[in-house]
């Protein structure tokens, strides 16, 4: 059962090959046996999962036939889940039990999914390796001495190891697409505002976006159809009809124009990764797509702009964690200042403290114009680059990451080296456009992915191109040894 994709599970449940409860019990047992090697889960919600599975079986027995009815998954541990700990992988929220469900969780529950638990991540989603978690690093199932990427590394590791067929993630600068690439999965960052952020603990509010991580584009289409839609509780959520993503999957790619930015192929890209991209180009051309050279001239400014804007927003969002209202509180504070200082110093990890300090500095008097305002102007230039590019092409193709997964701890002493891993993904967040990473090969036995970017609200086109690619390749079918 664990080898089935989400779409395969939907078909098996519809044909009564097994029940949702049987599937849930099998996966819970598999998680208990194999996850100690990976540390992908923070919390297992066994009692709730079995309750939801029985409810899904009852709904099927009554004649309901929803595609996600009884389908198991797990949530990145920054989606609030009522009655279950939502920690954001931080000591600060280690004791926080959410009193409500995030909109994404609410929608997936309504569709009949079964939540097996909450997944490990970089603390407050700040990182590219899932090493900054208070609960310890997550390991890549393809090589447990390497990172799975981040910040949605727990989601990616659990899906890649076939512990669950799919998971939710969030993407602030590539945190769905990058771990998907490094673990051989398909990951989708929707357009900003396509999926509600209500109940999703914020890192950088103008960049964060929830989305699915699964093995195939078809599975991502299934999940996005349930997750997307207008939510009046989220002021950044866009009131626009949700496409039928499944219906669009089988459209031919004849006539599709794909742009290849020349800036993607600079000195920072592993030559083997460049070869992987060009191999994917050949496959897409064989399916009827045409390839055009394009330019994204503001790409070189993306990382400095992102690492001013994101920490600035983080410093504002995380100011609420003060030891007074909820979350971690230090022992025996001597006064209010001591309560604030020690609660935050003890409750936040090193990477979170680093980004708060950078963001607070960038927003401080005398530096706002020099840093934050200038970064926002660069953000607009990046957005304009994409608008011009999409006047010529339908999609943009490139590498998701500069190379394969690196060893655990390899970049801990040099945060900038880790930040550079986001080079190809952060522009989509700065511009707010949708992006998808799909498996495209191996380097030194480790999976790598290529990325597709699309104009605003063109997720259906992304999923269509990825699905057609996956019909003639088998990278998405590969599984790590031992899992």
Indicate if 206 belongs to the active site. no
Torsion of CA 462, 464, 466, 470, to 10 degrees: 170
Catalytic option among 76, 107, 189, 411: 76
Catalytic option among 175, 196, 298, 315: 175
Residue with tokens 């008097």: 365
In this structure, the number of other CB atoms found within 10 A of the CB of residue 345 comes to 10
Indicate if 411 belongs to the active site. no
Under a CB-based contact definition with an 8 Å cutoff, are residues 457 and 191 in contact?
yes
Strand order of the sheet with strand 395-399? 41-44, 114-119, 72-76, 166-170, 210-214, 186-189, 435-443, 446-453, 395-399, 257-261, 290-294
Catalytic option among 45, 87, 151, 343: 151
Long-range CB contacts for residues 362-370, cutoff 8 Å, separation at least 24: 362/308, 362/311, 362/312, 363/312, 363/315, 363/316
Long-range CB contacts for residues 253-256, cutoff 8 Å, separation at least 24: 253/284, 253/287, 253/288, 253/289, 253/464, 253/465, 253/468, 254/287, 254/288, 254/289, 255/288, 255/290, 256/284, 256/288, 256/289, 256/290, 256/394, 256/395, 256/465
d(CA 324, CA 221): 42
DSSP β-ladder status, 210-214 and 186-189? antiparallel
**C-alpha separations of 358 from 40, 151, 310, 340 in Å:** 29, 19, 10, 19
Under a CB-based contact definition with an 8 Å cutoff, are residues 382 and 388 in contact?
no
In this structure, the number of other CB atoms found within 10 A of the CB of residue 468 comes to 22
Q: Which helix (H) or strand (E) holds 440?
A: strand 435-443
Indicate if 151 belongs to the active site. yes
List the catalytic residues.
76, 151, 175
């Amino acid at each position: 059962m664990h080898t089935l994709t989400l779409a395969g599970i939907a078909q098996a449940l519809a044909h009564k090959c097994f029940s949702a409860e049987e599937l849930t019990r099998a996966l819970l047992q598999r998680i208990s046996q194999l996850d100690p090697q990976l540390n992908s889960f923070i919390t297992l919600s066994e009692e709730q999962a079995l309750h939801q599975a029985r409810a899904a079986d009852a709904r099927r027995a009554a004649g309901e036939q929803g595609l996600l009815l009884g389908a198991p998954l797990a949530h990145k541990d920054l989606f609030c889940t009522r009655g279950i700990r939502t920690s954001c992988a931080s000591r600060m929220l280690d004791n926080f039990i959410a009193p409500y469900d995030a909109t994404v969780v609410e929608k997936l529950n309504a569709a009949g999914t079964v939540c097996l638990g909450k997944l490990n991540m970089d603390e407050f989603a700040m990182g590219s390796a899932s090493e900054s978690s208070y609960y310890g690093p997550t390991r890549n199932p393809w090589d447990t001495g390497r990172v799975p990427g981040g910040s949605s590394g727990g989601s990616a590791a659990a899906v890649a190891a076939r512990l669950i067929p799919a998971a939710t993630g969030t993407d602030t600068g590539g945190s769905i697409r990058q771990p998907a690439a490094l673990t051989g999965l398909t990951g989708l960052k929707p357009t900003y505002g396509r999926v509600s952020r209500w109940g999703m603990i914020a890192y950088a509010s103008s960049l964060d976006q929830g989305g699915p991580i699964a093995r195939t584009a078809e599975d991502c289409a299934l999940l996005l159809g349930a997750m997307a839609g207008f939510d009046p509780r989220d002021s950044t959520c866009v009131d626009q009809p949700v496409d039928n993503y499944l219906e669009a999957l089988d459209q031919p790619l004849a006539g599709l124009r794909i742009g290849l930015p020349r800036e993607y192929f600079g000195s920072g890209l592993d030559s083997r990764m460049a070869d992987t991209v060009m191999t994917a180009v050949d496959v897409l051309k064989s399916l009827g797509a045409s390839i055009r050279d394009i330019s994204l001239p503001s790409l070189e400014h993306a990382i400095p702009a992102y690492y001013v804007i994101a920490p600035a927003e983080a410093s504002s969002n995380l100011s609420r964690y003060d030891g007074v209202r909820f979350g971690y509180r230090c022992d025996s504070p001597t006064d209010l200042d001591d309560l604030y200082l020690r609660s935050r110093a003890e409750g936040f990890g090193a990477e979170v403290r680093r980004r708060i300090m950078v963001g607070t500095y960038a927003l401080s008097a005398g530096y706002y114009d020099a840093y934050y305002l200038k970064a926002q102007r660069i953000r607009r230039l990046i957005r304009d680059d994409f608008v011009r590019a999409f006047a010529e092409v339908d999609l943009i193709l490139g590498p998701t990451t500069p190379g394969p997964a690196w060893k655990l701890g390899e970049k801990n002493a040099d945060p900038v080296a880790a930040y550079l891993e986001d080079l190809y993904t952060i522009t989509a967040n700065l511009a707010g456009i949708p992006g998808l990473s799909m498996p495209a090969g191996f380097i030194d036995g480790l999976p790598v992915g290529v990325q597709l970017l699309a104009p605003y609200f063109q997720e259906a086109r992304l999923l269509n191109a990825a699905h057609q690619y996956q019909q003639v390749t088998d990278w998405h079918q590969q599984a790590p040894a031992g899992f």
